[in-house]
Amino acid sequence: MAEKLPPLTLSSLDKKRRKVSFNNRYGWFFISFCLILLALFMLYPIISSLIMSTFSSRGMISRYVGLGNYKRLLHDTVFLQALKNTLLFFIIQMPIMLFLALMIATLLNNKAIKFRGVFRTGIFLPAVTSLVTYATLFKMMFSLEGFVNRFLMTTHLISDPIPWLVDPFWARITVMIALTWRWTGYNMVFYLSGLQNIPDELYEAAKIDGANALQQLGRITVPLLKPIILFTAVTSTIGTLQLFDEPTSFASGGVTAATIGPGNSLLTMSVYIYNLCFKYMPNFGYAATVAYVIVILVAILAFVQFKLAGDRR
């Protein structure tokens, strides 16, 4: 016979409540160290920078301007140029990169392809390549007498060398090519991990029903990879809006140059924040204002991406 449990009384319920409360106190004690560190290194800088954005400074002298810094943005031609360049990279380069990552992941997920591991490693390697190394290599390849121009002229695709790094349009194209080369493999790894969790039976059933490869991609692969596609889109949005390394590396003279790229064609908002803090006369309040523009843009674009993906959370 099963042993009978003693009836619950008010005293036993009180003991259970005290035990739970005691355990909760221990839990709060152990996570309190993490909470203190988060508040010190995350919450405090966020609040401090928000307050700082209401001040304008010239060197060590600061004065309260309220929303004056935000109004100043509307008439700041350098900021508007940086915003335009950043959005161009976001609108053009990021979709191309994610599309290529998905196509390559789908191709390398095919079990009929030999040496898939070698190809996966080779495509991912640019993501862990030193920035200085690959930036120097790209500047050599895309110079007027570099490998790219010589190859295009040898194959008679062009008659005159393309000014990749000295023309505003081509300078942006060069940075977009470099970004795509570097980060396509990184996003490909996420898509590969998702593709390997999709049952092969779904594709076999689709083939029996007469679906071609494009229909399988649109009806099976993309819907089942939607959470991962959303994740890569949001992280790529954050990375693109904070773009700093490539523009400064490809610009002649780096961040110390008079302009970032020909005609400031490579100036991004993150580079402009750096200039406001360390290159021009320091104005940390205005730099904080530009930083919050990035925060607002990231929040808006992430919200739009969640809505377009149909996420209801």
pLDDT along the chain (313 residues), means of 10: 51 55 71 89 90 84 87 93 94 95 92 88 91 89 91 91 90 94 94 90 87 87 92 94 90 66 88 90 90 94 88 56
Residue 7 lies in a domain: no
Q: What local confidence, expressed as pLDDT, does residue 218 receive?
A: 87
Same domain assignment for residues 156 and 281: yes
Q: Are residues 182 and 237 in the same domain?
A: yes
Range of the domain at 57: 21-68
Assess whether 111 and 171 both reside in one domain.
yes
Domain C-terminal end among 10, 39, 68: 68
DSSP structure string for the chain: -PPPPPPP-HHHHHHHHHHHHHHHHHHHHHHHHHHHHHIIIIIHHHHHHHHHTTEEEETTEEEE-TTHHHHHHTT-HHHHHHHHHHHHIIIIIHHHHHHHHHHHHHHHT-TTSTTHHHHHHHHHGGGGS-HHHHHHHHHHHTSTTSHHHHHHHHTTS-SS---TTTSHHHHHHHHHHHHHHHHHHHHHHHHHHHHTTS-HHHHHHHHHTT--HHHHIIIIIHHHTHHHHHHHHHHHHHHHHT--HHHHHHSTTGGGSSSSSGGGTT--HHHHHHIIIIISS--HHHHHHHHHHHHHHHHHHHHHHHHHTT---
Q: Are residues 187 and 40 in the same domain?
A: no
Asked if the structure places residue 259 within a domain, the reply is yes
> What per-residue confidence (pLDDT) applies to 99?
95
* 121 and 186 belong to one structural domain: yes
Residue 116 lies in a domain: yes
Q: Are residues 212 and 273 in the same domain?
A: yes
Alpha-carbon distance of 171 to 265, in angstroms, equals 7
Global confidence as pTM: 0.84
243 occurs within a structural domain: yes
The pLDDT of residue 241 is: 94
How many domains does the chain contain in total?
2
Provide the CATH number for the domain around residue 282. 1.10.3720.10
Domain boundary among 8, 38, 68: 68
Give residue-wise pLDDT tens across range 17-41.
555 555 677 778 888 888 899 889 9
Are residues 274 and 248 part of one domain? yes
- Residue 119 identity: F
Domain boundary among 44, 68, 92: 68
pLDDT on residue 131: 87
Query: Quick check: is 251 in a domain?
Result: yes
Position 13 in a domain: no
Same domain, 200 and 131: yes
């959370």: which residue's tokens?
A: 313
On whether residue 159 sits in a domain, the answer given is yes
Considering the domain architecture, whether residues 150 and 216 belong to the same structural domain is answered as yes
* 163 and 261 assigned to the same domain: yes
What pLDDT sits at residue 77?
A: 93
Residue 41 lies in a domain: yes
One domain, residues 180 and 254: yes
Do 171 and 283 belong together in one domain?
yes
Cα→Cα distances 175→40, 82, 125, 237, 247, Å = 36, 15, 18, 16, 7
